[in-house]
Amino acid sequence: MSANEFMVWWVDEDGQESKSRWFTDETDPVNLSDLIADMQELSEAMISRYAIKLNGVPAVAIPGAAGAYDIADKVVFEYLDSAGNTIKVAVPAPKTGIFSDSDNVDLNHADVITWNAAIKAIYESNHGATLATLVRGYRTRAARAA
């Protein structure tokens, strides 16, 4: 098993950015925050953000079954957030079974209800608002050659 990628972005006084890319097997955010804090003490540049890219298939992710689908086809869930803004969240290659007709999602489908609860639990918009109401779900299709 390969290690997780660990990336740190630095910015200097002129606004120029530099990225360091290492590897880690640590995912505890407290420990990684300690690492970042100690790293900051070595440099004149400011650490603006960091990212952990987990390598390999997550234990919970199940590869999709083979079928006639394309990753450019998407289902778009449209929400109103708690500040009243419209927020769109997309998932590619949606399963046909979650649709009530050719274009619209069945909002009462069990897997859609589960997904809706899961995204609501972790999502916070750029306005600092949470997802409040699922308005609709619809299909978007990739443009294909005739």
Q: Does 64 bind other proteins (CB under 8 A)?
A: yes
* Interface with other proteins (CB under 8 A), residue from 44, 84, 102, 146: 44
Q: Which is nearer to other proteins, 128 or 146 (CB)?
A: 128
Q: Which is nearer to other proteins, 48 or 100 (CB)?
A: 48
Q: Does 83 bind other proteins (CB under 8 A)?
A: no
Contacts of 86 (CB under 8 A, 6+ apart): 78, 79, 80, 135
Strands 86-92 and 131-140: unpaired
Q: Which is nearer to other proteins, 93 or 135 (CB)?
A: 93
Q: Does 85 bind other proteins (CB under 8 A)?
A: no
* Interface with other proteins (CB under 8 A), residue from 78, 80, 82, 125: 125
* Interface with other proteins (CB under 8 A), residue from 78, 80, 82, 91: 91
**C-alpha closest to that of 111 among 67, 70, 135, 77:** 77
CA–CA distance, 91 with 94 (Å, rounded to integer): 7
Question: In what order do the strands lie in the sheet containing 131-140?
Answer: 86-92, 74-81, 131-140
How far is C-alpha 30 from the chain's CA centre? 21
Q: Does 101 bind other proteins (CB under 8 A)?
A: no
Binding flags for other proteins, 20-39, as an x/- string (CB under 8 A):
x-xxxxxxxx-xx-xxx-xx
Going by the DSSP 8-state scheme, the letter that residue 98 receives in this structure is: G
Q: Are 119 and 77 in contact (CB under 8 A)?
A: yes
Q: Does 70 bind other proteins (CB under 8 A)?
A: yes
Q: Does 79 bind other proteins (CB under 8 A)?
A: no
